[in-house]
């Protein structure tokens, strides 16, 4: 059974720092992996989707990497801003049906 | 990206009553919709998968008679929480997709049962 773990559970850093969020999964047979952002009491915003054949995806200040063999993905945020404060969720899709298995999230606080 | 609208965003209901949550794909026809539940400080958990015109497939531990899912059209799925109790208070979120494409998420519904 696929399990997804995110470390750390919470992170607080000063504005401007570069940071890395980690996601690990137990079954390397994945279809794709997706990173989301969730603001308090709000829905989900998709940030990056990495297909199983890809090693990384980039969007603006965000870069997500995928190492299937080791069951790991990282989300790199460059030059963090207070507006980046949110909970970041990692979700693994094991097949084309898109039934996602979710990590518990990393709550990120960027201090001005 | 495609837009999925979920309504209402917040609802408070009395214990024992039923609540309906709607999930609409606004600019595409969703062959499959998913319903998730998120308790405070926990992961989202898949509740059920529904394909248009057929019965929903529920995950283990989810009571299908309590959480009624209807996917009657390619743009609308509804989740009805029947005889709601305080332990059903949670954040419910839907997603919708077409074959061979990623799923798009609604804004979520915060349900509070008092």
Q: Is B47 on the interface with A (CB under 8 A)?
A: no
| Interatomic CA distance for residues A35 and A48, integer angstroms | 5
CA-nearest residue of chain A to B47?
A99
pLDDT band of B1, cuts 50, 70, 90: low
Quick one: pLDDT at residue B72?
A: 81
Q: Which residues pair with A34 in a beta bridge?
A: A49, A91
Convert the pLDDT of each residue in A6-34 to its tens digit: 999 999 999 999 999 999 999 999 999 99
Decide: B53 and B71 in contact? Cβ < 8 Å: yes
**DSSP summary character for residue B19:** E
Phi-psi region of A79 (alpha: psi -120 to 50; beta: other; left: phi over 0): left
8 Å CB contact of A98 and B45: no
| Interval A28-63: pLDDT, tens | 999 999 999 998 877 888 999 999 999 999 999 999
> Which of B41, B43, B105 comes nearest A44 by C-beta?
B105
- Retrieve residue A22's tokens: 């980690």
């Amino acid at each position: 059974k696929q399990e997804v773990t995110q470390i750390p559970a919470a992170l607080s850093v000063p504005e401007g720092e570069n940071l890395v969020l980690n996601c690990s999964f137990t079954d390397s047979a994945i279809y794709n992996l997706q990173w989301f952002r969730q603001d308090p009491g709000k829905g989900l915003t998709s940030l990056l989707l990495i297909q199983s054949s890809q090693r990384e995806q980039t969007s603006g200040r965000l870069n997500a990497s995928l190492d299937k063999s080791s069951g790991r993905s990282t989300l790199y945020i460059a030059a963090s801003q207070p507006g980046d404060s949110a909970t970041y969720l990692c979700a693994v899709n094991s097949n084309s049906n898109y039934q996602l298995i979710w990590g518990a999230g990393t709550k990120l606080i960027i201090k001005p | 990206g495609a837009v999925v609208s979920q309504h209402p965003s917040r609802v408070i209901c009395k214990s024992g009553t039923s609540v309906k949550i709607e999930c609409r794909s606004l600019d595409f026809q969703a062959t499959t919709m998913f319903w998730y539940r998120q308790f405070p400080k926990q992961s989202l958990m898949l509740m059920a998968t529904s394909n248009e015109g057929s019965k929903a497939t529920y995950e283990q531990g989810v009571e299908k008679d309590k959480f009624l899912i209807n996917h009657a059209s390619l743009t609308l799925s509804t989740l009805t929480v029947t005889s709601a109790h305080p332990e059903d208070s949670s954040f419910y979120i839907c997603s919708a997709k077409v074959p061979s494409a990623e799923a798009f998420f609604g804004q979520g519904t915060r349900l509070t049962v008092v």
